[in-house]
Homo-oligomer: A and B are copies of this chain.
Amino acid sequence: MTTPGPSLRADAARNRELLLAAAEEVFAEQGPDASIADIARRAGVAKGTVFRHFATKEELVAAIVGGHFAALIAVARGLLDSADPGAALREFLTVAADGLNQDLTALQTISEGDSRVTELRNQLHTSIEVLVERAREAGAVRPDLTGADVFLLICAPVHAAGFSPTPHPDLWRRYLGIIVDGLSPEGATALPHPAPEWP
């Protein structure tokens, strides 16, 4: 009563974080069909507790995807004033892939209907667009590159590395290197398809 105790709330908040972390791990290991039971077990809580924090499985997935998007937005914004726009874009793609696990793509599909996720996705796209614009103006990337392209390519390195029969946690850096080279204006060939429009 006297002290507006954050203690209970703190416990709940801690469980929420535990759950998000556990869910991310389990989804990464088992794919988007991992069961809530497994996630609860990993987090060390009961099944019911998952649903106290996330009313549906979809909501849990949306929280994960939204969290990633929010983090990426912060990264992109932090790089807006960089002196070297080309390096900034490369840094963005590196940091983005570094915080990813392979599933984000599949999870994204699940949370497609979530309006909060859509909103964040659009914000992220906008932030990336600015980053790309700067790099384009500086001649650091191919002139036909758009923000949508970069958005769609974020997961590609992690995804490609994920198929390796001999997995290595940093292998994605190799494929990011190849893609980044492909973004360079030097030796860029005409692309056979226009960039996607953003809705």
Contact = CB atoms under 8 A, between A and B. Distances in A.
A144 B54 CA distance: 47
Interface string A10-27: 000000000000000000
A80 interface: no
Chain B CB within 10 Å, residue with most, of A162, A180, A187: A187
Nearest to A183: B178
The range of chain A's interface size is: 35 or more
A182 interface: yes
A164 B151 CA distance: 9
Nearest to A189: B181
A160 interface: yes
A78 B135 CA distance: 41
A194 B181 contact: no
A186 interface: yes
A105 B196 contact: no
- How many copies the complex holds: the figure is 4
A106 B106 contact: yes
A196 B165 contact: yes
Contact of A192 (B174, B182, B188, B189): B174
Contact of A152 (B153, B161, B197): B161
Contact of A182 (B106, B166, B179, B195): B179
A62 interface: no
B175 A195 contact: no
A174 B155 contact: no
7 contacts: A142-B178, A149-B178, A164-B196, A173-B193, A178-B191, A181-B184, A182-B182
Q: 6 closest Cβ contacts across the A-B interface?
A: A182-B182, A186-B187, A174-B193, A178-B182, A181-B182, A177-B191
